[in-house]
Homo-oligomer: A and B are copies of this chain.
Amino acid sequence: MPATSAAPRRRSGIPEATVARLPVYLRVLTALAESGTTTVSSDGLAAAAGVGSAKLRKDLSHLGSYGTRGVGYDVEYLVYQISRALGLTQHYTVVIVGVGNLGHALANYAGFATRGFQIAALIDADHRRVGETVNGLDIHHLDELETLVKEHEVSIGVIATPATSAQEVCDRLVACGVTSVLNFAPIVLSVPDSVDVRKVDLSIELQILAFHEQRKATGALGAAGVAVPDEVRTVAAAAT
């Protein structure tokens, strides 16, 4: 439907919410491809991805018209188109800073390599760990951070340090040109607007779950005063 008769004009106007779901579709599609499926309908793909089919179609429509009416989507072709939309046709170099348990888990995670993310280096502040090898990767000392980032043209920094060092590490990453940061430390990082930060925060997720647990619990005990978070405890206690 572009006004121009020529190319589809896919200017990057993909909504954030859609971008966040594309990796899920990609994963499901990859699994389908491996199981030998060549074609999938929006209903089928949506079910496997855990979203509604209308939403899925809307999402895909932002990339272009890659389905066939009456048939569905070609799995392999969709994989390619989503990969391209996400920028996965290029590859990205990553450093992981902080090689504790979490850092180890990340270094061993296969999902890095399988989507064009290459771990350039593991970095830790503890001299005793320097020289160790995790998953075939050498651990370097924090002093070398700047050198390593520039040498390998790192574009994504993963912070898996304790909260106390996270901001400093982040500052150093940003100072030597890293423009995307994935933060596992439980702290709000401050960065210039030009830098993207995403956070993964166990504690926050648990607290969100707690909120919903609470709602279920208060709703569940049925008969009288339903779902009042405040003084329900009094009522509940009295009822016991």
Report A's interface with B, CB cutoff 8 A.
Answer: 7-8, 10, 12, 14, 19-20, 22-24, 26-28, 48-50, 84-90, 92, 94, 100-102, 104-106, 108-109, 111-112, 115-117, 155-156, 179-180, 182, 186-190, 194, 196, 198, 200-218, 227, 229-231
Say yes or no: A211 contacts B84, CB within 8 Å: no
Say yes or no: B229 contacts A10, CB within 8 Å: yes
Say yes or no: A188 contacts B111, CB within 8 Å: no
Known: A188-B49, A202-B111, A202-B200. A22 touches B207 (CB 8 A): yes
State how many copies of this chain the complex holds: 2
Q: Which of chain B's residues have a CB closer than 8 A to the CB of A208?
A: 19-20, 23, 198
Say yes or no: B101 contacts A23, CB within 8 Å: no
Q: Which of chain B's residues have a CB closer than 8 A to the CB of A200?
A: 200, 202, 205
Q: Which of chain B's residues have a CB closer than 8 A to the CB of A186?
A: 27, 111
Q: Which of chain B's residues have a CB closer than 8 A to the CB of A19?
A: 208, 211
Shortest distance between the CB of A173 and any CB in chain B (Å): 13
**Given A102-B105, A182-B209, list of 8 further CB < 8 A pairs?**
A24-B188, A48-B188, A87-B210, A89-B229, A156-B206, A179-B216, A180-B209, A182-B206
Q: Which of chain B's residues have a CB closer than 8 A to the CB of A155?
A: 213
Say yes or no: B101 contacts A210, CB within 8 Å: no
- Cα A50 to Cα B195 with chains together (Å): 14
- Cα A146 to Cα B84 with chains together (Å): 44
